[in-house]
Chain A
Amino acid sequence: MRTISVKEIEDGMVAAAEVLDSRGGVLLNPGDGLRKSYIPKLIGWGVHEVEIEGDDPATDAPDKKPGEDVRLPREMETRIISKITHRFEMVGDDPLMKRLKRLSQKHVLRRTASKYALK
Chain B
Amino acid sequence: MLNTSRETAEVNDVATLSPVQTDQLKAIIKDIDSIPSLPSVVAEVHEAIRDPRVNATYVGKIISRDQSLSAKTLRLVNSAFYGFPRKINNITRAIIVMGFNKVSNLALTASILDAFKRRDQDFDYAGFWKHALGSAIAAEALAKNLKSGEFEDAFVAGLLHDIGKLVMALYAREAFAKIREHVQEADVLMLEAEMELYEIDHALVGAWLADAWKFPPKLTRAIRLHHNPEAAREHQEIIYITHISDILCRALGIGNGGDNRIPLVNRKVWNALKLNDAVIDACMGEIYAGLDKAKDFLELLN
Q: How far apart sit A102 and B252, CA to CA, in the bound complex (Å)?
A: 11
B260 close to A (CB within 8 Å): yes
Q: How far apart sit A47 and B264, CA to CA, in the bound complex (Å)?
A: 21
What sequence of 0s and 1s flags, for each residue 235-269 of chain B, a beta carbon within 8 Å of any chain A beta carbon? 00000000000011011110000001111110100
A101 to chain B: which residues have CB within 8 Å?
Answer: 251
Q: How far apart sit A97 and B250, CA to CA, in the bound complex (Å)?
A: 12
A49 lies within 8 A of B281 (CB):
yes
Of the listed stretches B154-162, B207-215, B270-278, chain A binds B270-278
B288 close to A (CB within 8 Å): yes
Q: How far apart sit A101 and B248, CA to CA, in the bound complex (Å)?
A: 10
A83 to chain B: which residues have CB within 8 Å?
Answer: 253
Residue of A nearest to B270 (CB): A96
B281 lies within 8 A of A46 (CB):
no
Q: How far apart sit A111 and B252, CA to CA, in the bound complex (Å)?
A: 10
B149 close to A (CB within 8 Å): no
B277 lies within 8 A of A99 (CB):
yes
B285 close to A (CB within 8 Å): yes
B262 lies within 8 A of A97 (CB):
yes
Residue of A nearest to B264 (CB): A91
B284 close to A (CB within 8 Å): yes
Chain B interface: which size bin?
A: 20 to 34
DSSP majority for the B interface? helix
A111 to chain B: which residues have CB within 8 Å?
Answer: 288
Interface size on A, residues (CB 8 A): 26
What sequence of 0s and 1s flags, for each residue 47-70 of chain B, a beta carbon within 8 Å of any chain A beta carbon? 000000000000000000000000
B280 close to A (CB within 8 Å): yes
A-B contact count (CB 8 A): 64
A87 lies within 8 A of B265 (CB):
no
DSSP majority for the A interface? helix
Q: How far apart sit A4 and B25, CA to CA, in the bound complex (Å)?
A: 50
Output the least CB separation between A112 and chain B (Å). Answer: 10
B267 lies within 8 A of A87 (CB):
no
Across the interface, B276 reaches (CB within 8 A) one of A46, A84, A107, namely A46
Residue of A nearest to B265 (CB): A96
Q: How far apart sit A83 and B250, CA to CA, in the bound complex (Å)?
A: 12
A97 lies within 8 A of B253 (CB):
no
B276 to chain A: which residues have CB within 8 Å?
Answer: 22, 46, 48
Contacts A84-B253, A86-B260, A96-B265; A107 near B270 (Cβ below 8 A) = no
A87 lies within 8 A of B250 (CB):
yes
Residue of B nearest to A92 (CB): B262
A and B contact pairs by CB, cutoff 8 A, 10 listed: A49-B281, A87-B251, A88-B251, A89-B261, A94-B264, A97-B265, A103-B251, A103-B277, A104-B253, A108-B253
Chain B residues engaging chain A, CB cutoff 8 angstroms: 247-248, 250-253, 260-265, 267, 270, 276-278, 280-281, 284-285, 288
Chain A residues engaging chain B, CB cutoff 8 angstroms: 22, 46-49, 65, 83-84, 86-91, 94, 96-97, 99-101, 103-104, 106-108, 111
